């Protein structure tokens, strides 16, 4: 099977740590794939720098340029994605709602990672430390991360993998964020690996994961 052709979408302030975890997983062979394309919203993004250092094509497609015409922005994204023959899109710190033309063209082939246990603590405004502070304020004893398929709303698509971490007595939003981030870096590659192996199927809100096929040679 040819390697999965992966694109990532990042926003201006993305650090690119999840992107790096995906790149590393491709390099180590954990994921049979290649990060071919990383599309930014602004030139000055640390994630774009990381991507370029790793040989990905790194165009900037600024939503501002389309003056509120989300369809036109979406079509521009689709054009870049198609020209690279992309099989999977990974949102990696992409802070906007993905335009409908992209959601439609790549249904079932777009993933996002969220630094909380969806369907709790998701939705508009729930990003970065806001999520972790909301978890602390809620009194929850666990938090975690979620990799999910992307639909037309914020954080509502079918869940692929989740891992929980404890909330500790002396946690602040940033100590909790750091504990969750460690799991993010394992969960995103794990979800992409399942996808690349063709083991995911979507049934309504549920994602079914089929057994690993072990080939016995000899």
- Shortest Cβ 181–ligand GRF spacing (Å): 6
Could you please report the per-residue DSSP string of 79-125? Answer: HHHHHTT-SEEEESS--SPPPHHHHHHTTTSEEEEESS-TTTT-STT
DSSP state of 40: B
Please answer whether residues 38 and 8 qualify as being in contact, where contact means their C-beta atoms are separated by less than 8 angstroms: yes
- Shortest Cβ 188–ligand GRF spacing (Å): 8
- Shortest Cβ 106–ligand GRF spacing (Å): 18
- Shortest Cβ 203–ligand GRF spacing (Å): 25
- Shortest Cβ 126–ligand GRF spacing (Å): 10
- Only one of the segments 35-43, 64-72, 109-117, 167-175 lies at the binding site for ligand GRF (rule: CB under 6 A); that segment is 109-117
- Only one of the segments 13-21, 34-42, 198-206, 210-218 lies at the binding site for ligand GRF (rule: CB under 6 A); that segment is 13-21
- Indicate whether 146 belongs to the interface with ligand GRF (CB under 6 A): no
- Only one of the segments 11-19, 53-61, 133-141, 198-206 lies at the binding site for ligand GRF (rule: CB under 6 A); that segment is 11-19
Give me the residues paired with residue 40 across strands.
60
Q: How many CB atoms lie within 10 A of CB 131?
A: 25
- Per the annotation, the verdict on 84 as an active-site residue is no
DSSP state of 174: H
Residue 126 or 140 having the CB closest to ligand GRF:
126
Q: Which single residue is written with the structure tokens 């049979």?
A: 32
Q: How many CB atoms lie within 10 A of CB 67?
A: 8
H or E element: which one contains 162? strand 159-166
How far apart CA 35 and CA 20 sit, in angstroms, is 10
Could you please report the per-residue DSSP string of 14-25? Answer: ---HHHHHHHHH
Which of 40, 63, 87, 115 is the binder for ligand GRF (CB under 6 A)? 115
Which of 5, 15, 32, 186 is the binder for ligand GRF (CB under 6 A)? 15
Residue 146 or 196 having the CB closest to ligand GRF:
146
Please answer whether residues 8 and 175 qualify as being in contact, where contact means their C-beta atoms are separated by less than 8 angstroms: no
H or E element: which one contains 37? strand 33-39
Q: Which of 13, 32, 84, 114 is catalytic?
A: 114
Q: Catalytic positions, please?
A: 114
Q: Which residues bind ligand GRF (CB under 6 A)?
A: 14-19, 47, 92-93, 113-115, 184
């Amino acid at each position: 099977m040819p390697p999965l052709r992966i694109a990532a979408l990042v926003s201006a302030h993305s650090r690119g740590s999840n992107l790096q975890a995906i790149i590393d997983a491709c390099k180590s062979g954990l994921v049979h794939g290649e990060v071919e394309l990383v599309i930014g919203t602004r030139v000055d993004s640390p994630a774009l720098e990381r991507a370029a250092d790793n040989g990905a094509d790194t165009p900037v497609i600024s939503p501002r340029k389309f003056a509120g015409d989300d369809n036109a922005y979406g079509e521009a994204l689709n054009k870049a994605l198609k020209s690279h023959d992309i099989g999977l899109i990974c949102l990696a710190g992409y802070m906007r709602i993905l335009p409908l033309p992209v959601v439609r063209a790549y249904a079932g082939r777009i993933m996002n990672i969220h630094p909380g246990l969806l369907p709790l603590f998701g939705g508009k405004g729930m990003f970065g430390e806001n999520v972790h502070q909301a978890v602390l304020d809620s009194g929850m004893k666990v938090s975690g991360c979620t990799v999910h398929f992307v639909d037309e709303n914020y954080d509502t698509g079918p869940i692929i993998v989740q891992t929980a971490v404890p909330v500790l007595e002396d946690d602040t939003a940033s100590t909790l964020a750091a504990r969750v981030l460690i799991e993010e870096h394992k969960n995103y590659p794990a979800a992409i690996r399942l996808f690349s192996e063709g083991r995911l199927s979507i049934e309504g809100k549920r994602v079914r994961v089929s057994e690993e096929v072990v080939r016995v040679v000899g």
